[in-house]
Amino acid sequence: MKIFTLSRFVLLICLLLGWQTQAQVVTTEPAFPTADKAVTLTFDLTKAKDSRAKGLLNKTNDVYLWSGAGSTESGDAFEFQPAGQTTWTAPFEPGKMTSLGNDKWQITLVPREYFGVPAGTPIRKLGLLLKNGNGSAQTEDIIIAVYPDELKVAFQQPTQDFFFAEANGTIQVEAVASENAALRLLHDGVEITTVASGKNLSYTLQTGPDQGLRHSVTVEAKTASETDTDVFEYMIKPVPPVAAVPAGIVDGINYIDENEVILVLYAPHKENAYVIGEFNDWKPTPEYLMNRTPDGVRYWLRLTNLPVGEEVAYQYLVDGTIAIADPYTDKVLDPQYDHYLTAANYPNLKPYPEGATGIVSVLQTQQQEYSWQVTDFQRPDVDQLVVYELLVRDFVSTRNYKTLTDTLSYFKRLGINAIQLMPIMEFTGNESWGYNPTFYFAPDKAYGTEADLKAFIDAAHKEGIAVILDIVLNQADYEFPYVRLYWDGDRPAVNSPYFNQSATHPFSVFFDFNHNQPATKALVQRVTEYWLEEYKVDGFRFDLSKGFTQKISGSNVGAWSSYDADRVATWKRIYNEIRSVDETAYVILEHFADNAEEKELANYGMLFWGNNNYDFRQLGKGENANPQWMSYEVRGWEQPHVIGYMESHDEERFVYDVSKYGKTSGGYNTRNLTTALNRAKLAAAFALTIPGPKMIWQFGELGYDVAIDENGRTGNKPLLWNYQNDPERAKLYQVYAELIKLKTSQPVFGTEDFTLDLGNIVKRITLNSDAMQVFLIGNFDVKQQLPAAGFPGAGSWYDYFTGDELVVTDPAKEIMLEPGEFRLFTSQKLDEPASNLLPWSKIILSAENELANGNTLRIYPNPAPDAVVVHLESDYLGQVQVQVQDVTGRVLSRHTLNKTQEVLKQQVQLQNVANGLYYLQVTTGDKRLVQKLVKVAQ
């Protein structure tokens, strides 16, 4: 999952909260600050909304202004910053505040001088916050307006542009002008009070009895040469009609016929709701007041006379103050980010409607349904599942589903049978890993249209490839309507039907769902059902599934990971709901909890991410590690439900780590790119051969070697399709393809009868079935090794990557393995792949003094003090190479001899060789023989 910092988020929240909250924290003198005149800023910290501001209360010093100035109304409020304001964790002396007592603080400054804004450049706003010296406590970011030096008038009370008022009540009106002027107050265009000359106007307005009527109040300031006005509107609070939701109608959009829909909003604890949109100029009007259900938890309205087949934008205005898009909409329009979308990715996007504010939802009657070409897709069996995880943004240059569809041939050649898309549901902005969701029924437009996504899934199914969605139901971002609808300062409100005020566990970034709440349960069920039925996805990978808990663990990861019966019950319920909709859908959890909990849920049917990144990176670098936790049998599970992987979006890239930090020995250097790629082949052989489903992170099959933190952890990564043109990377791709082909086509690779010998630096895997045996051996050391081979039995074995037959008479014979070398043997000969995918030479087994047909090799004495005799008896005639190697493979001495008769005897001197273990290697033509040699003191 994605890990975020909160500074930009807090700024967003403050901008969204509006002037009312900010005005409570900061007041200015004069009321209309200008760029070139002194302004006094007074902060009341008791009204700050950010919880971190508590650390500033009851102080008498150590409070500083951290601030900026912006030259436009819509741009960055911290565009210009005072000289020297660079170190957040240190006091900023020019911004030292003066205490007024009672948690009130003050500073006076001239904006242009304080912020160093060049003459001629306007200042339109200031960005402000207070902090302590070391930055451990702070207020929220606060934006205040800066005005041109001209006549201005504004309401100070009320502080909202529109609000609901009580019937037969009063509204206290306070207005202020920037200079003495004639002031008038008008109600619905009728003058109700005046001030002949002054800066201030005060009036108590009497509201009437008529519910649901909208009124306008205007203040006008006028001098001999200038006039300015300000306006607010209010409506007498309505009492919604009470009526039950019609039968068969669900939350969200219900399409009735070609020009009619029924909208339903679940909103307990709220008093009223209007539908606002293009059909009523985004203003609440009586005919769009929603019905309230008898239990008071839902609001609904029938919309008629809609334009047939046309998109219509709308929102819900709740309690007269909160305008939200429909949580169940399948499309939104976003004024902040949509203008960055390209026509190539989302053609003919509906323009953002004039008069709207914030994200709006879209409905459309008579939508054209997608015509599915594949209606009988058979999902791959779990034990043969090979998942390819990718982020659309960083996988294809166009960042869209159309190009991804065109790339399916690449996946087909590789042989994978499932693609897992990182989150694609609507998220904040267009640049994201997607773990900040905002609308769960709407595909994010950054990657293409709804039809494009369906066409991709359809095409993948045609190629035999399942599509799995990474789904984020552990948390939601601020723009999710049910976060905004129940909000308290800087966190969800205590009465939120969906969210905890604070997360119960570590690693929560945004806002934490409470999965014990009925509303959350219903949402999860609707979301999963929708994507299974509407988009025909094949299952889900649930992000941070361990976070679906109400057990308080604070920052204690161990406590969070321990067995949680309530969490187990939650996941069994969700699994049952998904399987009731689609009985073969994959349910994959990113859990990393106690094995007892994962075992129970795995035996129930769920799949689990099995992170072996650290172990394999260590092995790749030449350190020993044991990746046995990739095995479901080692974990004691009944089913092969561990999806093992060497890399994921969250982990450092294997080849990068090896080529950056790997070990060296003699002339063998894992940091050499070709060597690192060969070690990636070794690691892939062991990772993909362990029975059970597997996952590959994008471009791992080409040895992607860009660090995960390049351009920031979640930032854009270089797109390096040119890797395919590199012969060594192409070989790695082909090795992956061959291993995947074996896994998905040969039943033995899904056997329940297997043995893992993974503890030592030379590792082995044995797979057994009635039809065939498989034996894999590999040397993860950076030194040459000569271990006992450990074949499962004698007889003919076939080296898969060369096709060579090896007749084994003694399974315990030693085998020579170069650093990084592996051999994959099968007991039945299979079609061999392309040649030279691996750099190893012919298989070298220890002869144990016996060549063939009675021919012998003997070395004596052994152990030897200062010399050893090589006795070779064979039919071979010609040159013989004899060399002594140390245990790293370094050659200490080399001798070339000419064998002219059946017996060759030659003494090899060892005086300059230190005591210890060595290997004596004899090469006769294309045969190579190795025996251990021990040098001892005389």
Sheet strands side by side (includes 26-29): 26-29, 39-44, 104-109, 98-101
**Maximum Cα–Cα distance for the chain, whole Å?**
130
Strands 642-645 and 694-697: parallel
pLDDT given at position 10? 36
Whose structure tokens read 């409020």? Answer: 77
Helices 613-621 and 654-661, axial angle in degrees (round to 10)? 40
pLDDT given at position 930? 79
Residues in the chain: 938
- In angstroms, the CA 30 to CA 736 distance is 70
Task: Specify the 3-state DSSP secondary structure of 916.
Answer: strand
The 3-class SS string of 751-783 reads CCEEEEECCCCEEEEEEECCCCEEEEEEECCCC
Whose structure tokens read 């619905």? Answer: 188
Residue 563, pLDDT above cutoff 90? yes
Kind and range of the H or E element at 339?
none
Q: Which CATH class is domain 612-846?
A: mainly beta
Task: Specify the 3-state DSSP secondary structure of 418.
Answer: strand
The structure tokens listed for 461 are 């199914």
DSSP 413: H
Residue 14, pLDDT above cutoff 50? no
Residue 624, pLDDT above cutoff 70? yes
pLDDT given at position 855? 61
- In angstroms, the CA 49 to CA 158 distance is 20
Q: Decide which of 599 and 210 is more confident.
A: 599
518 by Cβ neighbours in 10 Å (0-12 / 13-18 / 19+) ranks as: exposed
Q: Which of 652, 676, 648 is nearest to 662 (CA)?
A: 676
The 3-class SS string of 620-653 reads HHCCCCCCHHHCCCCCCCCCCCEEEECCCCCCCC
Q: Cα dist. 540→265, 423, 443, 472 in Å?
A: 27, 10, 15, 10
Q: Cα dist. 620→615, 728, 781, 889 in Å?
A: 9, 17, 9, 19
The structure tokens listed for 278 are 């293009």
Residue 850, pLDDT above cutoff 50? no
Strands 878-885 and 891-899: antiparallel
Average pLDDT over residues 102-121: 96
Residue 580, pLDDT above cutoff 80? yes
- In angstroms, the CA 519 to CA 57 distance is 37
pLDDT given at position 213? 85
308 by Cβ neighbours in 10 Å (0-12 / 13-18 / 19+) ranks as: exposed
One fold for both 7-145 and 399-579+587-610? no
How distant is the alpha carbon of residue 627 from its chain centre?
A: 24
- In angstroms, the CA 882 to CA 867 distance is 14
pLDDT given at position 19? 34
- In angstroms, the CA 316 to CA 274 distance is 6
**Cα Rg of the chain, angstroms:** 36
Residue 93, pLDDT above cutoff 90? yes
Q: Which CATH class is domain 399-579+587-610?
A: alpha beta
Residue 11, pLDDT above cutoff 60? no
760 by Cβ neighbours in 10 Å (0-12 / 13-18 / 19+) ranks as: middle
Domain range summary for the chain, segments of one domain joined by +: 7-145, 153-236, 252-364, 399-579+587-610, 612-846, 856-935
The structure tokens listed for 637 are 């599970």
CATH annotation of 856-935: 2.60.40.3080
Q: Decide which of 3 and 895 is more confident.
A: 895
Handedness of CA 180, 181, 186, 191 (dihedral sign): positive
Q: Does domain 153-236 have CATH number 3.40.50.720?
A: no
- Please, what is the average pLDDT of the chain? 93
Q: Which CATH class is domain 252-364?
A: mainly beta
Which residues lie below 8 Å from residue 459, measured CB to CB, with a gap of 6+? Answer: 405, 408
Q: Which of 153, 154, 156 is nearest to 223 (CA)?
A: 153
Q: Which of 359-368, 424-433, 924-933 has the lowest mean pLDDT?
A: 924-933
pLDDT given at position 137? 95
Query: Is-contact 332 437, C-beta < 8 A?
Result: no
Kind and range of the H or E element at 636?
none
Query: Is-contact 869 910, C-beta < 8 A?
Result: no
Query: Is-contact 686 692, C-beta < 8 A?
Result: no
Percent share of the chain, pLDDT over 90 = 82
**Cross-strand partners of 540:** 469, 587
Q: Cα dist. 133→41, 52, 56, 121, 470 in Å?
A: 19, 14, 10, 31, 42
Whose structure tokens read 């969906």? Answer: 498
CATH annotation of 7-145: 2.60.40
327 by Cβ neighbours in 10 Å (0-12 / 13-18 / 19+) ranks as: buried
59 by Cβ neighbours in 10 Å (0-12 / 13-18 / 19+) ranks as: middle
- In angstroms, the CA 860 to CA 688 distance is 44
Strands 694-697 and 668-669: unpaired
> Could you tell me the pLDDT band of residue 921, with boundaries at 50, 70 and 90?
confident
Average pLDDT over residues 666-680: 95
The amino acid at 929: L
Q: What is the pTM of this model?
A: 0.83
Average pLDDT over residues 719-728: 96
pLDDT given at position 846? 67
Q: Cα dist. 353→68, 131, 181, 311 in Å?
A: 32, 39, 37, 11
pLDDT given at position 551? 93
The structure tokens listed for 478 are 């601020």
118 by Cβ neighbours in 10 Å (0-12 / 13-18 / 19+) ranks as: exposed
Residue 848, pLDDT above cutoff 60? no
Work out the angle at residue 204's Cα, subtended by the Cα atoms of residues 199 and 207, and round it to the nearest 5 degrees. Answer: 135
The amino acid at 545: S
Query: Is-contact 218 229, C-beta < 8 A?
Result: yes
**Cross-strand partners of 276:** 315
The 3-class SS string of 173-185 reads EEEEEEEEEEEEE
